């Protein structure tokens, strides 16, 4: 609900459980964000506060957006160079409301610069049932003078004043993504960001704030997540006056944007929400919102097999057919060929960019393998890395200028490849054309794993200082356009986003991708930590989790770790005997029975891998009738007795039956006393399944 209190020049954005209040005109201050309140009583709280002669109006610290005007000492959202001045004197010109195509209520605040034809529209979309608000800005230059944007942020977010503030965020690196970190805020600015050209494994573009006492089941949490796949930045600043203000959007590191007459720049969306049920409720709210408004589909993920660990780059039609035959026996639904299928002469320094099917490995084309896989009743998928170019490839020989490079200097070589500059129209067309040809010539392809294994370096194309600074954002824009075109032309082809592991996981990419590669680390114990961190801000529906030969633990342990998301198999199944195939088949069959609940249900993190000797998650189906619990002991070197595991999210008066034991227990007992686990040693594991008694 959007309401304008005209007498106070105050807007009220109300969701089912929250209120978001801010002023416009002279008092463009943020006033309140939290539990639903009576907004009509709040106007007297606006005002000016000057503490001493050394500080201008400190209420600028609570500006709802913030234009660079030379008066405020906080981070501004928009900064521009007009050639003769950088001061922005933005005047509020009114507002409009409308309903979006997806049913959200939209508020548009209109601003104009007083000395030029620069316009800024601030967009708020209100998702009532999900307690979510999205924010972005549209910056338009209708002046004959060109301007240069130096910073273009999506939003400034003010947190209510509290005695203390704790920031929770996700940090990591390659093979150690998604590690949850907490920091108590003191005066100063804490920054999380990406400068690699990708979303990055270092930080997720998301934040959560509480007073230091909230936990999984209780407490107030303010949170946000940025939908952008390039260089981004989120600054969390606490001032000496105890104001906490968060500014996020496109990273202004090496950034510039020219706006000529009639041109606009649209900042990425920042989605924000508020929870009174702790971090667990925060995550469930985000998961529900993502499934309804972000993801391109909510189809249940198929169990796939990927050939990488079995054959590496040494693929050929014979060994892939042999793998497919074995995969079918264990219940695999989709067979995916990884790297090594392309280029006339394949090696790590030569192939990337030459996207023709290797004639020696596949003398009858890819169609022979596709037909065999389809004949077995499985779907077929393929791996590509379109944004990479090898130094000895035919493509690089023909177009060395298509690789990012500083003039007169060879590009930095990382993992034997350069980055293809898809902002060049011809290079972008090349990528789109080869993808279209691949999918049209081989209509049996129903899945594409799109990889990008290195960070961007040497981001230059000889365009001058400003032109080169525009490349970072232009690359992501071109990428989005390619993916959008592929989805429109091939709506039945599923796409996976992969970037050296979890290097490109964000809600910008997930508008196009059906799933994401979570990490190159498939050790089942490590994945308990990685997957927990992932679940804070992203739904298990998109979280690819493979069973492989890497790491520790039994086959059961590996499967139960991976069954908490979108199950895949990456093991070298050539080494499996019939008993091994049967064991894989057993767990795959069980996963198929529970995957609807895991992928689409509500997730409860019962015990954290970061705390204590037990890790446990619980999934409750959408209708509440099915419950799946996974449990894993760790660091239990003395085989101490594990605590009873208390479940969550059940009907306290309903009776549930455990499929393993057949025992029936009321929901209040399961939630307040718990269940006993048959676990002891490290790398043991257990799955428990419950149903409402009347379904048994």
Q: Catalytic residue positions?
A: 451, 520
Q: Do the beta carbons of residue 603 and residue 540 sit within 8 Å?
A: yes
The dihedrals phi and psi of 322, each to the nearest 5 degrees, come to -65, -40
Residues forming beta bridges with residue 568, ordered by sequence position: 304, 546
Q: Are strands 270-275 and 206-210 parallel, antiparallel or unpaired?
A: unpaired
Instruction: Give the HSE-up count for residue 219: Cα atoms under 13 Å, Cβ half-sphere.
Output: 18
3-state secondary structure of 84: coil
Give the whole-angstrom CA distance, residue 210 versus residue 162: 9
Q: Largest alpha-carbon pair distance within the chain?
A: 82
C-alpha 20/C-alpha 363 separation (Å) is: 63
E strand or H helix at 328: helix 317-329
Q: Give the span between the Cα atoms of 26 and 29, in whole angstroms.
A: 9
Whole-number Cα distances in Å, 1 to 13, 43, 253, 385? 6, 18, 37, 44
Distance CA 588, CA 566 (A): 12
Q: Single out the residue of 159, 170, 149, 342 nearest to residue 259, CA to CA.
A: 149
DSSP helix/strand/coil, 475: helix
Tokens of 692: 């409402």
- CB neighbours of 674 closer than 8 A, spacing ≥ 6? 643, 644, 645, 646, 647
Contact 121, 110 (CB under 8 A): yes
Contact 166, 103 (CB under 8 A): no
CA atoms within 13 A on the CB side of 444: 20
CA nearest neighbour of 275 among 531, 627, 15: 15
In 3D space, the residue among 552, 635, 22, 615 whose CA is nearest the CA of residue 272 turns out to be 22
Q: Which helix (H) or strand (E) holds 418?
A: strand 418-419
> Residue 328 in contact with residue 378, Cβ under 8 Å?
yes
- 3-class SS shares of the chain: helix, strand, coil, % to 5: 25, 30, 45
Alpha-carbon distance values, 253 to 21, 188, 231, 277, 351 (Å): 31, 19, 8, 36, 33
């Amino acid at each position: 609900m959007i309401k304008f209190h005209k007498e106070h020049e105050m807007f009220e954005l109300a969701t089912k459980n929250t209120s978001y209040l801010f002023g416009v005109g002279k008092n463009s201050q943020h006033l309140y964000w939290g539990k639903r309140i009576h907004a009509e009583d709040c106007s007297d709280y606006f005002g000016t506060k000057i503490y001493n002669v050394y500080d201008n109006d400190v209420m600028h610290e609570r500006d709802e957006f913030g234009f660079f005007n030379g008066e405020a000492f906080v981070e501004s959202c928009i900064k521009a160079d007009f050639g003769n001045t950088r001061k922005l004197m933005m005047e509020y010109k009114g507002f409009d409301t409308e309903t979006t195509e997806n049913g959200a209520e939209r508020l548009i605040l209109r601003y104009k610069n007083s000395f030029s034809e620069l316009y800024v529209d601030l967009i708020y979309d209100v998702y009532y049932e999900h307690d979510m608000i999205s924010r972005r800005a549209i910056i338009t230059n209708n002046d004959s003078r060109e301007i240069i944007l130096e910073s273009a942020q999506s939003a400034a977010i003010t947190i209510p004043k509290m005695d203390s503030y704790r920031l929770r965020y996700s940090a990591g690196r390659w093979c150690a993504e998604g590690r949850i970190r907490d920091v108590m805020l003191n005066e100063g600015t804490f920054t999380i960001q990406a400068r690699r050209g990708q979303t990055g494994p270092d930080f997720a573009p998301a934040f959560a704030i509480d007073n230091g006492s909230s936990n999984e089941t209780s407490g107030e949490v303010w949170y946000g997540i940025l939908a952008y796949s390039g260089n981004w930045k989120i600054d969390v600043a606490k001032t000496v006056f105890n104001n906490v203000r968060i500014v996020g959007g496109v990273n202004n590191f090496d950034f510039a944007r020219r706006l000529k007459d009639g041109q606009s720049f649209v900042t990425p969306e920042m989605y924000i929400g508020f929870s009174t049920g702790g971090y667990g409720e925060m995550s469930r709210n985000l998961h529900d919102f993502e499934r309804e408004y972000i993801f391109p589909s909510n189809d249940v993920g198929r169990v796939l097999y990927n050939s990488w660990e079995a054959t590496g780059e040494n693929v050929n039609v014979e060994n892939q057919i042999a793998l497919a035959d074995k995969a079918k026996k264990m219940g695999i639904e989709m067979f995916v060929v990884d790297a090594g299928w392309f280029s006339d002469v394949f090696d790590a320094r030569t192939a990337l960019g030459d996207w023709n099917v290797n004639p020696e490995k596949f003398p009858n084309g890819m169609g022979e393998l596709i037909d065999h896989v389809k004949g077995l009743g499985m779907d077929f998928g393929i791996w590509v890395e379109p944004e990479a170019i090898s130094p000895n490839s035919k493509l690089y020989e023909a177009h060395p200028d298509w690789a990012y490079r500083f003039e007169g200097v060879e590009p930095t070589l990382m993992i034997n490849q350069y980055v293809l500059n898809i902002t060049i129209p011809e290079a972008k067309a090349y990528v789109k054309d080869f993808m279209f040809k691949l999918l049209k010539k081989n209509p049996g392809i129903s899945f594409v794993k799109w990889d990008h294994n290195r960070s961007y370096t040497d981001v230059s194309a000889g365009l001058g200082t400003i032109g080169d600074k525009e490349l970072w954002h232009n690359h992501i824009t071109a990428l989005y356009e390619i993916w959008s075109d592929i989805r429109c032309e091939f709506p039945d082809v599923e796409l996976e986003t992969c970037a050296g592991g979890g290097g490109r996981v964000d809600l910008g990419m997930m508008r196009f991708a059906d799933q994401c590669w979570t990490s190159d680390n498939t050790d089942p114990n490590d994945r308990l930590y990685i997957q927990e961190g992932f679940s804070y801000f992203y739904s298990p529906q998109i979280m690819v989790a493979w069973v492989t030969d890497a790491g520790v633990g039994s086959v059961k342990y590996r499967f139960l770790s991976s069954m908490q998301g979108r199950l895949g198999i990456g093991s070298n199944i050539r080494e499996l005997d019939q008993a091994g195939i049967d064991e894989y088949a057993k767990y795959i069959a069980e996963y198929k029975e529970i995957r609807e609940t895991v992928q689409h249900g509500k997730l409860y993190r019962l015990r954290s891998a970061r705390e204590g000797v037990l890790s446990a998650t619980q999934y409750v189906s959408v209708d509440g009738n099915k419950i799946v619990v996974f449990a894993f002991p760790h660091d239990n070197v003395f085989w101490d007795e594990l605590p009873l595991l208390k479940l969550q999210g059940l009907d306290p008066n309903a009776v549930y039956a455990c499929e393993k034991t057949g025992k029936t227990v009321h929901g209040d007992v399961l939630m307040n006393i718990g269940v006993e686990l048959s676990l002891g040693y490290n790398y043991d594991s257990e799955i428990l399944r419950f149903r409402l008694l009347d379904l048994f």
